[in-house]
Amino acid sequence: MALPSKVVDQLSRAPARTPGWSSRVLLFSATFFILSFGIYLGIQFGYKPYLENQIAGLEKEIADFSKQVPERDQDELISFYSQLDNLSTLLKKQSMPSKSFSWLEENTNVNVQLVSFVFNGTNKTMTLGGQARSIVNLGEQLNRFKSQSLVKSSQLTQLSLDQKSGVWTFSITLTMTPSFFASAMTSETIEASEPTTDLPIGTPASTTVPGVATSSTTSTSAQ
Amino acid sequence: MAFALVFILGSFVVYFELTQPAYENLQKTIGERNGYNKFLAEQKPAVNNVLKLIDNYTGDSAGNLRNALSATLPLGPDLSSSLVQLEGLVRLSGLSLQNITPEVNRSALIPSTKPLVKPVGTLTFRVAFTGSYNQVKDFFSRIENNVLLMEIRSANLQPLGAKAGVDLFTGTAEVVSYYQQM
């Protein structure tokens, strides 16, 4: 049986050409490749030189900036600043042993005579040699030193009795707090006190004060 | 089809061999630029402050201040000036000077832990004297308040002679004066 002519006509016509999947893949891969290469070119020859230019500009700006302060001025300023800082540090640490004389004037028993004074700024110690009219006077003196807040520790290092005069000779080492010899002490402690005498060392107490034996720790004066 | 494969492989090669290393380098460059920017942003106010300070410290009054400061803490050791001042202080306090011995070997530099602060040097002198209690007290006070910064490191005061009640002492004091290294 023969096919209808319409059908024969349809079958004999060539199929219409439509784009296939292979050409799409080719198009996609080509685009991908071009994009990838384009990005590389953009980075390498676009953005990187731009950043490098920026860095060069910043370096120049920094160099120009530092030139604004001449080297000589920089040295002078550093030296000045350094002097101020060093001076401040040194003044804070400076020992003021003269303050100890005022303190001793205030805190020496009237029946005790101090005859020698050794100061050690490194250890913040004072070693005092002296004479006491009696052992009671010496005890009172030691108690007085111990009761002072600025005395860190006290140590009696030598004690002997002179049989002829009946005078007790002693040596005591006082370790003071760091603030004792500092200049700040002036306003806090020393200047607040008003010593009644300024000769605690070397003046004859035991030999010239007759008959005074007790209750002298409350006195702030020394002969 | 073969072209497509070549393009895809080519894309991977370009990405891994060229783009990725270039991007890593770019990150480094960006970091460098940001570092410079940050440095500049921080240094600008600092340099401006320094310029202001220089302006402030270049006038006459600033010159006087600098001179005063250098009199207190000289720039460099000045043995003769220290000696002259120490001798003057002994004389002014009324003490009788026995001797002054500079202890050159004990001179030392004290480095600072702070940045920019230069080391401080010391000149050490041993002073031997005789005098009364008040004179010694005055001498110590003068050293502590002298224009050239001085400090008594140690002192020894003993009665002169065995006679009790005599206000006369012999003493030694280790005195240091300070200077700043140039």
CA distance A142 to A152: 13
Residues A106 and A168 in one domain: yes
**Residue A34 within any structural domain of the chain:** yes
Q: Which residue has the higher pLDDT, B51 or A109?
A: A109
CATH of region B74-180: 3.30.70.60
Do A116 and A138 fall into the same domain? Answer: yes
Higher per-residue confidence, A133 vs A206:
A133
Specify the CATH number for the domain of residue A141.
3.30.1360.100
CB contact under 8 A, B30 and A73: no
Nearest Cα neighbor of B171 from B137, B127, B135, B113 is B127
* Residues 150-169, chain B, touching A (beta carbon < 8 A): 151-159, 164-169
Q: Are residues A88 and A105 in the same domain?
A: no
B54 touches A69 (CB < 8 A): yes
Task: Confirm or reject contact between B22 and chain A (CB < 8 A).
Answer: yes
Whole-number pLDDT of residue A156: 92
% of residues, chain B, pLDDT over 70: 93
Looking at chain A, the whole-number percentage of residues with pLDDT higher than 70 is 76
Q: Please tell me whether residues A66 and A106 are part of one structural domain.
A: no
How would residue B103 be classed by pLDDT, with cut points 50, 70 and 90?
confident
Q: Where are the domains of chain B?
A: 2-56, 74-180
Check whether residue A55 and residue A102 sit in a common domain.
no
Q: Which of B19, B30, B149 sits opposite A87 (nearest CB)?
A: B149
**Cα B52 from Cα A23, distance rounded (Å):** 72
Find the distance separating the first CA and the last CA of chain B, reported in whole Å.
80
Report pLDDT for A223.
28
Domain co-membership, A118 together with A185: yes
The reported pTM is 0.65
| Contact assessment for residue B50 and residue A69, using Cβ atoms and an 8 Å cutoff | yes
Give the domain range for residue A79.
26-92
Residue A200 domain-assigned (yes or no): no
Distances, alpha carbon B169 to alpha carbons A100, B86, B124, B134, B141, in Å? 17, 19, 23, 10, 17
Q: Which residues contact A77 (CB under 8 A, 6 or more apart)?
A: B50, B53, B54, B57
- A4 inside domain: no
Q: Is A157 on the interface with B (CB under 8 A)?
A: no
Residue A3 lies in a domain: no
* Mean of per-residue pLDDT scores for chain A: 78
Residues A119 and A149 in one domain: yes
Question: A28 to chain B nearest CA, in Å?
Answer: 8
Number of separate domains in chain A: 2
Evaluate whether ipTM surpasses 0.85. no
Q: What digits encode the pLDDT tens for the residues A117-151?
A: 999 998 999 999 999 999 999 999 999 999 999 99
* In a shared domain, residues A40 and A103: no
